[in-house]
Structure formats: structure tokens, C-alpha cells
Chains A and B, each alone.
Chain A
Amino acid sequence: QVQLVESGGGVVQPGRSLRLSCAASGFSFRSYALHWVRQAPGKGLEWVAVISYDGSRINYADSVKGRFTISRDKSKNTLYLQMDSLRTEDTAVYYCARDSRTDAYNFDYFDFWGQGTLVTVSS
């Protein structure tokens, strides 16, 4: 079965960095685009970033552009989110989610989600 397991969250001071990981299993990792979606405490869902199935297309939300970097390692079936220059408003649960399409550069809905990892940015 499809599994997405996030890790790497924790408490970090403003201005510092953190790297999240998402280990994928149960499907053909190299065939699907993958996203990061976040949810601030008590708030709604916010799409953060996407990387295409082959890593050639990457998009970011304006709120994180220039500070976050999404990447993937097909040899490890793992998705990453490098978060630099963190701000208090980046505090959220970060989910990785699989895009519904295979082998495509257009991004759709999210058919599987991980359980999330909490990032708290606080001094």
C-alpha cells in the first residue's frame, strides 16, 4: 500500500534552517509528482511546493519562494524540503502528498498524504 512518512520536524529559531524528509513506499516513486502542503495550528491547508516525477519541473508558493527548496532522490525513494531563513509564520504541520497524475507536468489533486511533521519556529 502507498505510504508516505515525513520526518525532520522540530523546534528551530527564526532565521535558522531545517530539512524535512518524506520516505515513500508502495508505489513507483519515479512516476509521480510530489508536493509539500502545510497547515498552521488551527488553520487551513496551504500548498507549499511541488516537484515533477522526473525532478525537472518545480513550483513554489510565493510565501516560500527563495527560502525553501524541494528535491527528490529516486535512489532512496525520498522527497525533501530544505527550509532556510525560517520565520515564525512558517510554524505548521508539513505534509507530503502524492499528485494523482503519473508522468505528467501538470499538477492536480492529492491522492495520498503522509501523517505530517510539525515544524515550530520560535525564539
Chain B
Amino acid sequence: DIVLTQSPGTLSLSPGERATLSCRASQSVSSSLAWYQQKPGQAPRLLIYDASSRATGIPDRFSGGGSGSDFTLTISSLEPEDFAVFYCQQYGRSPLTFGPGTKVDLK
């Protein structure tokens, strides 16, 4: 199975700051990587697919990059509603796997 490692585990930032989250795969998944945001008590929401394509309705402050084994999710300027847990997920190889998550919380 492909193992996804996310770093950091927690990112403490203030509104207006830039957030950079990392996801590393144990083997190449090409561009078959998605990012999700999950707030407490809510289902995950798709943000990015195919490593860099924004899902419908996602603000352009969210951007994804990378390919192969190394990926990043960047939030250019944090809004109050952006504080949440973010998960990456690979679909390059079965079984589908998720990373353990990065929590972005208020500094």
C-alpha cells in the first residue's frame, strides 16, 4: 500500500498568513492526489484534485502543486473559516489511502 506522510502535524498561524502543507508518498502516484478540508463535526470537503486542480467553488487562495511523490497545498492568505484539518489522498494505486492530516489552528 502507498503510505502518505503529511507535515507538519500542526501549523499554528494567524489570519492573513500563508500556510504551506506537505504530503509525501512512499512511491510515485504521478498527479493522482487530492486534498480535503475537514472542520469539526463535518464531513471532509474536496479542495484540490489531480494535484493542482481546484474543485468547484473553492476560492483561489487554495492552490496545490507537485507530482510524483512530493505535493504541497498552499493557502495564500488564511481566512478565519480556513482553520481546520487537511488531508491528502492518493488514487494512483489501489487501495486508496489518506495521509494522517495536518491541523491548521489559530496562533
Interface size of A as a range: 20 to 34
Contact of A47 among B32, B45, B95 (CB under 8 A): B95
Contacts of A113 in B (CB 8 A): 43-45
Contacting chain B: which of A9-17, A80-88, A102-110?
A102-110
Give the distance to chain B from A67, nearest Cβ to Cβ, in Å: 16
Contacts of B89 in A (CB 8 A): 45, 109-110
Helix, strand, loop or mixed for chain A's interface?
strand
B55 at the interface (CB under 8 A from A): yes
Interface size of B as a range: 20 to 34
- Chain B's closest residue to A112 (CB) is B46
- Chain B's closest residue to A113 (CB) is B43
Q: Is the CB of A47 within 8 A of B43?
A: no
Q: Is the CB of A111 within 8 A of B94?
A: no
Query: Which of A35, A45, A46 has the most CB atoms of chain B within a 10 A radius of its CB?
Result: A45
- Top 8 nearest A-B pairs (CB, nearest first) are A109-B34, A113-B43, A45-B98, A47-B96, A108-B91, A44-B100, A109-B49, A44-B101
Identify the B interface with A (CB < 8 A).
32, 34, 36, 38, 42-46, 49, 55, 87, 89, 91, 94-101
Identify the A interface with B (CB < 8 A).
35, 44-47, 50, 59, 61-62, 95, 100, 107-116
